[in-house]
Structure 1
Amino acid sequence: MIDASALTRCRHRVHLDAAFPAALAAAPEDIGVRQRQDAAAARREDIRRLLVEYDPERWVVIDAEGSMRTRAEDTVAACRAGADRIWGAVLPLERDTGRKARCEILIRDADRGGYIPVIVVNHKVTDPGRGATTSGMFEWEPREDPTRKPRSQVRDQMRVAQVYRMLERHGLASPARLAGAIGYGSDVIFVHDLSTILADYDERFADRLSVARGESATVPSRIGECRSCPWWPGCEEQLTLTHDVSLVATGSRADMLREAGCHTIDDLAAWDREPLEDWPHGAFEDAVVTAKAWLAGAPLVRRFPQIRVTRADIEIDVDMESYQEHGAYLWGTLLNMDGVSVYRPFVSWDPVPTQDEARSFAEFWTWLMAEREAAALSGKTFAAYCYSRAAEDKWLLDSARRFAGVPGIPTEAEIREFIDSPQWVDIYQAVSDQFICPGGKGLKKIAPVAGFRWRDADAGGEASMSWYREAVGYDGEPDLTQRERLLQYNEDDVIATKVLREWMSDRAESEIPLASDL
């Protein structure tokens, strides 16, 4: 039996999950996965309350405390009775086809009969633009939306397609072949056209079911999913023993190399043919150098003899902490001037989203611009640094939009003037431009090469999400020790950026080999 999540999952993981259920159950819980599950459950509850309380007479709510079998029987009975809206639907297990599924909402198609599945998810399903079809939250009225464009989410497509196929089994599917998804931050239902999805779904389902039932062989290969997979330690050991090429060229790149007869890291390091065409994610030559570096045990490789990084008289390192899409609760800064470094956090401990976030952001921005202006007035150079600016840029701009008009909040134009200036420096980009990084480019991967270590062994983005929930009291009384832990983690991040920048200026050229040295 498989649910739709298996259809976008690693094939080898599907095999291992099915073949060794006891080992899977005993595997340590992944903190990040649990956080996402908890956040999704909270999101579903918010939507349930919104919809059901708006018009309770229209809804049949399936008892979530009942057994899966009872809930499935109640769902089918509600459909047979012609319920207008059903919350918490469970479809009967199909032991012959291998399907199982749940769905937050079933909406009766008043015009054509049958039911339309609608799921509730904790990620965005549309972006600003044009081309999406949406419906209002309280009435099913699909229409072209001039303000939104679809955000591709294959996992959502597979999930609604599986529910639809199971509704078909009982003669309960709407002939309209439509489905919906309510995403994070949305006040509409995004409409999926199942007629464009079902063929892909059927192919994927047949493949994964064959794998789960042991009818198709699989082998491990490194992909992005490995980061949170409970089976990764075993797969990594196997791949390392064989020098599998996916360790240095993950995902589709490994598939391309295997098709070209290149199966091991050694094969790639010895590549003497023309580069592969349509090579994704960087230059093919970088992949060859990465393979050589892996074999040599080199954590980084210089692209150029000289390493350059922007330096200034007054330097400020910035690191932002956010909680999912709810808000940016902490702007951590490290002011470096005249050989002295001072950490200063601008933080709100009200659970985000909160208006207090505007206060902490305004204080951060006012302070940063004051330091910038003071440098200019004193004739000193100024630079502010971050590591991988995408998140900081997003929350700088988003905060300006959300809190426009609040005292101290800059305009979007003011934010853009700063982030587009040479005074806003992304050290991640400086690393990417000048180094080949066999082990990855994340700050936690690169800063240790420069000699920096985090004080907290568990420090990381996923862990900080859990610490934040405890720090602000999402699940009980606020834990002040977790607030200190978050501040220490944030301080270490800005210090790591400083250490890395200084190492690039002072020692990288003597410590890191050139590609030609390999």
Structure 2
Amino acid sequence: MGSAILGARNLTGCEHRLALDSAAAADGVAKPETAEANRRIEAAQAHRRHVLDLIRGFWSDRPEGTVVVVEAADHRDRVAATRAAMDRGAQWILQAALPTDVERGRRGHAEALLRHGEGYLPIIVVNHRVTTTIAEPREGEVPTLRTSPLFGWHPEPDATRSFRSRRGDVMRLAQIAAMLDDLGRLHAPREEALGGLIGLDADCIVVVPLGESAHDYDETFDRRRAIAAGDIATSPRRVSECRSCHWWPRCEAELTEKRDVSLVVGGNQGQILRDIGVVTIDQLADYRGAEPAEWVGAVRFDDTVVSAKCWVRDIPLVRRHDRPRVQRADVEVDVDMESYSERGAYMWGTLLTDNTDPARPVAYRPFVTWDPLPTRDEGRSFAQFWAWLTAERDAARAAGKTFAAYCYSQHAENRWLRGSADRFADMPGVPSRTAVDAFIASREWVDVFEAVNDNFVCPKGKGLKRIAPVAGFNWRDDEAGGEASMEWYAAAVGLDGAVRDESQRERLLQYNEDDVRATKVLREWIDSDEVLELPLAADLLAENAGGGVLPGGR
């Protein structure tokens, strides 16, 4: 186990991936990252450079050596420069590198080390949001979050934000703190240590108490190091991380060969099934006992049995009800938003259908900015989208027609509707947050994903690209998908120095149009007689009713 050296990234996520990565590294074989992973890495690096430039700017009038930027190419030289800066008592050490601890098995670096007392506290910069704005703090409530301005360490209770904690961020700070402690450079004993976290908004430093996580870190580190060394065996299980993992083709083949139950039931629910001896899909499909007493989670137990039966029989979708239902309207607008990571929403695509007027064309209309994100022009395109949408709604109402706008899985659209209203509130035509919230809460904003979840058991997933083909819709571009669209967008606008290829703009528009058309086709199919050709979940469950699993029951 002594040869296993872990970075903070190894402390969270799939244990089997860590085992496979470690074995490959020992054999001298490096698995390349996926395109999606590389895109995220590049975006994170660009964001970190931006934040570090801000910090340097705050201290630009201070004496030389107050802020030290470690810029050496070689790791040993970076470590030497970091240690020298600590020896001199530099206030800020940016791009700090700590010496790899071969004996304890740790490696790490910090975007910044900030002088505090007789030592340093670690600060990391991440490319996701780490706080949520509290619009109306509760009077008299004592804030649990502390934040500090970017220019220094001045922690104060913050009633305007709540912490969006991620285990990976906390584990990374805990690892850096442990390494600083080993060097005698930590600003306080580990059980009292603090760390700093700067997120995508880069508007504050979130204060993270690291003493609370020290024990969890130590236990996690010891287990993960044993896995990396091959002392603890792991096996594949399908988890959410699999979607972007370079090992997934190998793991999927193994799981399919074993007909592993995790292919249809994930997370804690899969472990509950394994604990009662249900380890294959076939065993779950034939299950006739009572629902496990420990069953938890959003997925109903009888849905997992139905999904297993579908997997065995290659059934793509199953009805929950005799007649599926979805909200319809006289005037229908399908909406699909395209965003790039956390930088912003560059396109709002729409498809209008007037069911009362066959002569009116079913028209696709996008509202888009091709200025590289982040950009104020995003506010202009959002304002135009909102003005058009509300004008169509108002016209329908004035004509005595019902109106509904549809999206697929409203979480993303709602986030950017609200976020755009907040960020561009000072721009002409941008709606107030109150107006946006009222629209989202109304019956005129319909989530087709929720209709799918209410009406069907979906053994192969509920994503639009999984479900719409069952309704007869197919995308024109065989490569269409969220990951691919990120690459297309980077090329379309020449993002972060990428070679600009404006032909990708047309590809993105076609992809967005297909997404809104897919939502329309799916909605109309749910409302048609064709959907009645699907089997009923109750009929499939009735085959097992001699045991304890009853249709629709727990």
Give the aligned partner of residue 302 of structure 2: 285
User: Structure 1 residues 456 and 95 mapped into 2: Cα distance closer, same or farther (>3 Å)?
Assistant: same
Give the aligned partner of residue 367 of structure 1: 388
- 1:8-23 → structure 2 map (5 Å cutoff): 8-21=12-25
Aligned equivalents of 1:405 and 1:70: distance in 2?
Answer: 48
Partner SS, residue 328 of structure 1: strand
Match status 1:77 vs 2:84: yes
2:379 alignment partner, one of 351, 358, 366: 358
Residue identity matched to 2:438: E
Give the aligned partner of residue 92 of structure 1: 99
Aligned equivalents of 2:511 and 2:92: distance in 1?
Answer: 46
Give the aligned partner of residue 116 of structure 1: 121
Residue identity matched to 1:319: D
Q: 1:495 deviation in Å?
A: 0.6
Q: Deviations over 1:422-467 (max 9, x none)?
A: 2211110100001011111111111111111111122111221221
Match status 1:389 vs 2:410: yes
Give the aligned partner of residue 162 of structure 1: 175
Aligned equivalents of 2:508 and 2:291: distance in 1?
Answer: 45
Residue identity matched to 1:509: V
Q: Deviations over 1:126-177 (max 9, x none)?
A: 2234421222212212222222222121101111111111112211112141
Q: 1:368 deviation in Å?
A: 1.4
Deviates more, 1:233-242 or 1:253-262: 253-262
Aligned equivalents of 1:18 and 1:427: distance in 2?
Answer: 42
Give the aligned partner of residue 433 of structure 1: 454
8 Å contact kept, 1:126–1:132: no
Q: Deviations over 1:226-253 (max 9, x none)?
A: 1111111111111111111111111222
Partner SS, residue 158 of structure 1: helix
Deviates more, 1:213-222 or 1:264-273: 264-273
Give the aligned partner of residue 502 of structure 1: 524
Q: 1:323 deviation in Å?
A: 1.8
Deviates more, 1:400-409 or 1:34-43: 400-409
Residue identity matched to 1:77: A
Q: 1:34 deviation in Å?
A: 1.2
Give the aligned partner of residue 442 of structure 1: 463
Q: 1:22 deviation in Å?
A: 8.2
Residue identity matched to 2:416: W
Aligned equivalents of 2:349 and 2:88: distance in 1?
Answer: 57
Q: 1:313 deviation in Å?
A: 2.3
1:203 alignment partner, one of 210, 219, 227: 219
Residue identity matched to 1:489: Y
Residue identity matched to 2:408: Y
User: Structure 1 residues 24 and 12 mapped into 2: Cα distance closer, same or farther (>3 Å)?
Assistant: farther
Q: Deviations over 1:383-408 (max 9, x none)?
A: 21111111112222222222224332
8 Å contact kept, 1:177–1:193: yes
Give the aligned partner of residue 150 of structure 2: 137
Q: 1:81 deviation in Å?
A: 2.4
8 Å contact kept, 1:131–1:148: no
Partner SS, residue 208 of structure 2: strand
8 Å contact kept, 1:75–1:89: yes
8 Å contact kept, 1:17–1:24: no
Partner SS, residue 20 of structure 1: helix
Aligned equivalents of 1:412 and 1:74: distance in 2?
Answer: 48
Give the aligned partner of residue 309 of structure 1: 326
8 Å contact kept, 2:490–2:498: no
Give the aligned partner of residue 547 of structure 2: none
Give the aligned partner of residue 298 of structure 1: 315
1:59 alignment partner, one of 67, 70, 73: 67
Give the aligned partner of residue 137 of structure 2: none
What stretches of structure 2 of length at least 5 have no aligned partner? 135-142, 541-554
Residue identity matched to 1:66: A
Give the aligned partner of residue 238 of structure 2: 222
Give the aligned partner of residue 513 of structure 1: 535
Give the aligned partner of residue 509 of structure 2: 487
Give the aligned partner of residue 253 of structure 1: 269
- 1:44-55 → structure 2 map (5 Å cutoff): 44-55=48-59
Match status 1:328 vs 2:336: no
Aligned equivalents of 2:274 and 2:413: distance in 1?
Answer: 38
8 Å contact kept, 2:24–2:31: no
User: Structure 1 residues 23 and 215 mapped into 2: Cα distance closer, same or farther (>3 Å)?
Assistant: closer
Aligned equivalents of 2:352 and 2:53: distance in 1?
Answer: 46
Residue identity matched to 2:519: T
Aligned equivalents of 2:157 and 2:199: distance in 1?
Answer: 17
Q: Deviations over 1:358-411 (max 9, x none)?
A: 221222112112222222232332221111111112222222222224332222
State TM-score, norm by structure 1: 0.95
Q: Deviations over 1:247-306 (max 9, x none)?
A: 111122211211222211122222223323341122222112111111111111111110
8 Å contact kept, 1:309–1:501: yes
Aligned equivalents of 1:463 and 1:336: distance in 2?
Answer: 28
Give the aligned partner of residue 471 of structure 1: 492
Let me know the Cα RMSD of the aligned residues: 1.8
Aligned equivalents of 1:142 and 1:406: distance in 2?
Answer: 33
Partner SS, residue 506 of structure 1: coil
User: Structure 1 residues 194 and 239 mapped into 2: Cα distance closer, same or farther (>3 Å)?
Assistant: same
Partner SS, residue 527 of structure 2: helix
Q: 1:418 deviation in Å?
A: 2.3
8 Å contact kept, 1:307–1:508: no
Give the aligned partner of residue 11 of structure 2: 7
Residue identity matched to 1:398: G
What stretches of structure 1 of length at least 5 have no aligned partner? none
Aligned equivalents of 2:425 and 2:28: distance in 1?
Answer: 48
Q: 1:325 deviation in Å?
A: 2.4
Residue identity matched to 1:151: R
Give the aligned partner of residue 171 of structure 1: 184
Match status 1:417 vs 2:469: no
Residue identity matched to 1:248: V
User: Structure 1 residues 301 and 22 mapped into 2: Cα distance closer, same or farther (>3 Å)?
Assistant: farther
Partner SS, residue 149 of structure 1: strand
User: Structure 1 residues 140 and 207 mapped into 2: Cα distance closer, same or farther (>3 Å)?
Assistant: same
Q: Deviations over 1:341-367 (max 9, x none)?
A: 211111111122222222212221121
User: Structure 1 residues 481 and 26 mapped into 2: Cα distance closer, same or farther (>3 Å)?
Assistant: farther
1:34 alignment partner, one of 38, 57, 60: 38
| Matched positions, count | 515
8 Å contact kept, 1:24–1:230: no
Deviates more, 1:15-24 or 1:89-98: 15-24
Q: 1:203 deviation in Å?
A: 0.6
Give the aligned partner of residue 272 of structure 1: 288
